[in-house]
Chain A
Amino acid sequence: MNEAEAIFLFAKIWGAIGACVALIFLTIGIERIDEDADGAYVFRPLLIPGILLIWPLVLWRWYILADGKDEWSSRYKPRRTAHHWIAFAMPVAIILVLVLGLSQRQIWPADFVPQQIAPAAQVSQ
């Protein structure tokens, strides 16, 4: 098994567990932790892809809400202060990536002879 096959096996296992979590959460759990979901069924299939992807987070929040450990104050914490460093770091990263990308172009000068930079791709079998 190569790395790519291992990654896809992991993704399949992750998705299978997520499917089990989705089945139980959407049929039994959701009504117990969210009164707005009581009697609302049509929207539930929309949640399946999300549960498949972040089922550990779903299990954690399900436990917190079902156990009454949810603190109301945590819902109102602003994130705008934390947003500042993103707003300054992102432009730096974008410019860095652009410069690096442009620096690797092989068409300057015009008479540059293209070079083989890597061996031919491997095969999986």
Chain B
Amino acid sequence: MSVKYTPVQWNRNKWLYDGVMLIGVVLFLYVFLFVSPEILSHEFPINPQVHNARAFGAAAFVMLTVILCIGPLARIDRRFLPLLYNRRHFGVMTTFVAITHAGFIIDWYFAFSSSNKFEALLFANTSYTQLAGFPFEVFGVFSLLTLLLLAVTSHDFWMKFLTPPVWKRLHSFIYLAYISLVAHVSFGILQDQQNHTVTVIFIGGALCVAGLHAYAAWLDLRKGDKPGTEKDGWIEVCKTSDIENGFAKIRVLPGGDRVAVFNQDGKLSAISNACAHQNGPLGEGKIIDCLVTCPWHGFQYNVTNGRSPAPFTEMVPTYNLRLSGDSIEVQTQANPPGTYVEPVPLPDAKPQEVMA
């Protein structure tokens, strides 16, 4: 969270995250380049330029594969949530690794043309009408441009400026970029791969991303947030006994928005389930010291007014609540962000719970 923008917001966890990531990348490159050339089909003589290009290309593929596994893993098992915390830095570093790969390729395969080397990249192979020998370079160019787009719009300013939903949609291009990357490898180096260690890593990684996303989406369809039925502008959320102290129940409103209804020491409050930062699921967070913490990046909000604690300025909409018998109902129309709503006491809340 920031009051004024800074170039990069560092904290101990981010330093640790980035340090581990950097060590991983260096180790990968070292193993690829120096330790096991024979299992990577490098027993044939290739020049250092091509060797480096392959190393950085393989590293970029593995990094993007890991990045795309983090999201579904975090949805399947909350223990993976810490990996989500600084995924943006992971993405930016992947972009730098991919640019390095492209640099080695262009400066070797296209630099000796009498034409501009970037133009040569585009016209060297124009067999777009056939699968065999398809110009796989274009898939790589698309993936690289997409990674570049996401990296240069990764600062928090862009999220606030574009709004989190638009920013998230823009960054959903990462899925297209990954498919394009798989095509880049499939129609590129895979066509000439003689030793299958890399083939197994590549196909295994791609299938891992595919399987995890399908499984996480299937789980979400089965056990995900349920839509409520509207009646006179209100929907039933759950029974009064259903919400554990310190936690929330999430319901999907008729318009598609999600509301999170929290039980804070026997008193009910409702705020938007979408965090103001990246629309993370606030309802999956726990209340600590009267504040709910977003499980994605740690943004905090007071559930009674939807405001982050001073000096931070983030706000989320709040919702009106009422009790109908033993049911908790929420008004489908949200209040403007930061609007205080008097908490509704649970009828069976013990006095000490309310006092606590």
Contact = CB atoms under 8 A, between A and B. Distances in A.
Contacts of A5: 116, 119
Contact of A123 (B115, B256, B316): B115
Interface string B329-341: 0000010110000
Interface in A91-118: 91, 93-95, 97-98, 100-107, 117-118
Contacts of B337: 72, 76
A101 B186 contact: yes
B161 A61 contact: yes
Contact of B7 (A4, A42, A88, A91): A42
A88 B273 CA distance: 24
Interface in B192-214: 194, 203, 206-207, 209-211, 213-214
Contacts of A72: 317, 336-337
A56 interface: no
B122 A4 contact: yes
A24 interface: no
Given A98-B203, A104-B131, A8 B118 contact: yes
Q: Contact residue range for chain B? A: 35 or more
Interface residues of A, number: 65
A76 B210 contact: no
B182 A94 contact: yes
Contacts of B72: 87
Given A80-B224, A87-B72, 14 more contacts: A3-B122, A8-B119, A36-B4, A40-B5, A46-B7, A54-B149, A54-B170, A76-B165, A84-B217, A87-B216, A88-B213, A90-B178, A107-B194, A123-B114
15 contacts: A2-B123, A40-B6, A47-B155, A52-B152, A76-B279, A76-B337, A83-B172, A84-B221, A87-B216, A90-B210, A102-B186, A104-B187, A117-B130, A121-B123, A121-B126
Interface of A: 2-5, 7-8, 33-34, 36-40, 42-43, 46-47, 49-50, 52-54, 57-58, 61, 65, 70, 72-84, 86-88, 90-91, 93-95, 97-98, 100-107, 117-118, 121-125
